[in-house]
A and B are shown apart, each in its own frame.
Chain A
Amino acid sequence: MKKIILIAKKEFLDMFRDKRTLMRMIMIPLLVFPLIIYLITTVQESQSEKEALKELTIGYYLNGQSSDMIDRMDTAAPFNFLAYEDTAAITADIKAQNINLGIWFGQDFDQKYSAGEQATCGIFYRAANSEEYERFDNLIDLQKEYLVQERLALNELPADYVQPVSFIMNDKSTVEEVIGKYAGGILPYIFMAFCFMGCMLPAIDLFAGEKERGTIETLLVTPVNRVHVLVGKMIVVTSFGLLSATIALVGLVGSLYLMGDGGALTDAIAKIVTPQLVITLYLLLIPVAIFFAGIMIPVSVYARSFKEAQSILTPLNIAVIVPATLGFLPGLELTYTTAWIPIVNVVMATKAIIAGNAEMGPMIITFVSLLVLSALAVFVSFKQFGKESNVLR
């Protein structure tokens, strides 16, 4: 045990002194989410502000009808209405992007409206500029409402005549259930993606790197059992995976917390990220991290160089990311079947824990299958590390 600790201590020191390690396993996971969230919110806010202030030019063709509706809409500040003599000219100008949108009236619009029938009005828009259409649509909605109310008043009918029933909606699901269903997969997904990345660099450096630097022979000549060497190094690989994932989660939760600024989002986070969830998450993810280390170490032991190991391991990332994304699919839940699928079961189990509907049976299967898998990965690593053709390749 002493030798395992000695090897692990040395490897920790070695790794912590590597600038690449600090950058990729601590700085990036810590800053990636605060930066992404900051950038998204800042860009989104400034874009929305810009869009709201941008004047939209709407071409209109009255087609011999009254201009009442246009006059009412023209009072809205960032809209500029421009009269046209026909729809062809409006279409041409929209295509040329000289104006933003267009509206035309049917030739019997006034007559039909006055007669209590359905009048026709057409709109020209570009789907590629959906935000422009949405702004104009809001304006149109106000007009629709105005026309309905005007017609009801003319016919001396009450304002809610066209809404015979008022449905009172009452959501009985908890915040945890909603988040568990729609966003619960994000936590384990992020954890696993960063855990994988966190394991990768030390796994390569401590095995393929040691071979490349020519230090492996001197280590193997010391009176330390090879299993102890492997376990000492594996502890470091696993720990860096967990460390990297933990830092990423702290970064994510911290930035969401700050963004929430004491509001509903902050309350929701506090409700979800409970000590129970954290403990269960780690109980599931420690075997996953060991499993990751266990699949990376044999590759790294086999590879001749750092570069070779990296080129084999990087595509493996997809094998982790793709099953983890299944967690986002609605309807897929932790069952006696999905509990056997590695990676997927962790995502499903975490979702179930957050939603508060985790069943004991599938949870036990998940945990036990992960333990078996990690033990298998350790065994494969040991076999590969013991092969002299690999170690001295």
Chain B
Amino acid sequence: MIIVDNLYKSFKLSKKQRKEFNTADSEAVPVDKISFKCEPGRIFSLLGPNGAGKTTTLRMISTIITPTSGKIEVAGYDVATQPNEVRKSIGFLTGSTGLYERLTADEVLKYYADLNYVPKAEFETRKKHYYDLLDMHDFAGKRIGQLSTGMKQKVSITRTMIHHPDVVVFDEPTSGLDVITAENIIKLIRDCKIEGKTVIFSSHIMSEVDLLCDDLAIIDKGKILYNDTMANFRANMKADSLTREFIRIVNENKKVNA
């Protein structure tokens, strides 16, 4: 379970940044008092255009950055006061996630298992499970730098799941991947749901969201514009396609704020 309550994040802008972003504001607010809930056994999607605040929200949920105000609870632990407990419960995968190119797949997985306090026997069992599932045995001893993008993605998936997290955070996980490689991620997200894990993933691709998610939140300029089940989103659509409905909601909000 993930509970996000009145979450707010602001950054001070340096002179250089103000010039870069063409603003006179001394502060940027990537996340502006948002609240939502992700249930176990369901897939929650955070949908929004580029720069909407999706990555900042997921980074706060994953304890990488700290909220300015508001509260986040992950698997029953408070992000602010129990960050290590939260980290133990989280699997984190992004489209831009890198791996240590000079280590082998085996070494990378062992490293993350050790960092996550996974006992040796448990590690071996889980490693075998994913190696069988994703057909990874042939390149287990090869250095990451020698692997194809698809192979690397499989290692990333196993790395994310090696400590059997209750909550899995995917930040635009298929970004930059071809259809075949992205399919592994789609399958992983579905498997997580079947296993009863809490899944949150961000995307700006409506078709991907439609394919996977049970609950949806549309975010733009740090604010939640829509938050309901995917079934209700489909049922109450005013446009003729999901993508157009998503664009309609975002544009409508722009008009309100203009």
Task: State the A residues within 8 Å of B (CB).
Answer: 3, 6-7, 10, 13-14, 17-18, 213-215, 217-225, 388-389, 391-392
User: Across the interface, which residues of A come within 8 angstroms of B90, CB to CB?
Assistant: 221
In the complex the two chains form, is A392's CB within 8 Å of B59's CB? Answer: yes
User: Across the interface, which residues of B come within 8 angstroms of A217, CB to CB?
Assistant: 59, 62, 64, 92, 94, 97
Q: Which 4 A-B pairs have the closest CB atoms?
A: A214-B98, A213-B98, A222-B115, A223-B87
User: Across the interface, which residues of B come within 8 angstroms of A218, CB to CB?
Assistant: 92, 97, 112, 159
Task: Add 15 more A-B contacts to A217-B59, A391-B64 (CB < 8 A).
Answer: A6-B115, A10-B100, A10-B107, A14-B100, A17-B102, A214-B94, A214-B97, A215-B97, A218-B112, A221-B87, A221-B92, A223-B84, A223-B87, A223-B88, A388-B64
- B184 close to A (CB within 8 Å): no
Interface positions, chain B 30-88, Cβ under 8 Å from A, are: 59, 62-66, 84-85, 87-88
User: Across the interface, which residues of B come within 8 angstroms of A225, CB to CB?
Assistant: 84
Task: Report how far A214 CA is from B102 CA in the complex, Å.
Answer: 14
CB A41 to nearest CB in B, in angstroms, measures 39
For the complex, count residues of B whose C-beta is within 8 A of A: 31
In the complex the two chains form, is A214's CB within 8 Å of B62's CB? Answer: no
Closest partner residue, chain B, to A388 (CB atom):
B65
Task: State the B residues within 8 Å of A (CB).
Answer: 11, 59, 62-66, 84-85, 87-88, 90, 92, 94, 96-103, 107, 111-112, 114-117, 143, 159
Instruction: Give 19 CB contacts A-B under 8 Å.
Output: A3-B115, A6-B115, A7-B115, A13-B103, A14-B102, A17-B143, A213-B101, A214-B96, A214-B97, A215-B100, A217-B94, A219-B115, A221-B62, A222-B87, A222-B116, A223-B84, A223-B88, A388-B65, A389-B11
Contact partner of B103 (CB less than 8 A), chosen from A14, A214, A220, A389, is: A14
In the complex the two chains form, is A222's CB within 8 Å of B112's CB? Answer: yes
CB B27 to nearest CB in A, in angstroms, measures 13
Task: Report how far A213 CA is from B87 CA in the complex, Å.
Answer: 21
CB A263 to nearest CB in B, in angstroms, measures 46
CB A215 to nearest CB in B, in angstroms, measures 5
CB A212 to nearest CB in B, in angstroms, measures 8
Closest partner residue, chain A, to B159 (CB atom):
A218
In the complex the two chains form, is B115's CB within 8 Å of A220's CB? Answer: no
Closest partner residue, chain B, to A389 (CB atom):
B11
Task: Report how far A65 CA is from B114 CA in the complex, Å.
Answer: 97
Task: Report how far A391 CA is from B62 CA in the complex, Å.
Answer: 15
User: Across the interface, which residues of B come within 8 angstroms of A213, CB to CB?
Assistant: 98-101
User: Across the interface, which residues of A come within 8 angstroms of B117, CB to CB?
Assistant: 223
CB A383 to nearest CB in B, in angstroms, measures 15
CB B172 to nearest CB in A, in angstroms, measures 12
In the complex the two chains form, is B115's CB within 8 Å of A224's CB? Answer: yes
In the complex the two chains form, is A220's CB within 8 Å of B64's CB? Answer: yes
Contacts known (A217-B64, A222-B112, A388-B66); A18 close to B102, Cβ less than 8 A: yes
Contact partner of B107 (CB less than 8 A), chosen from A7, A13, A220, A389, is: A13
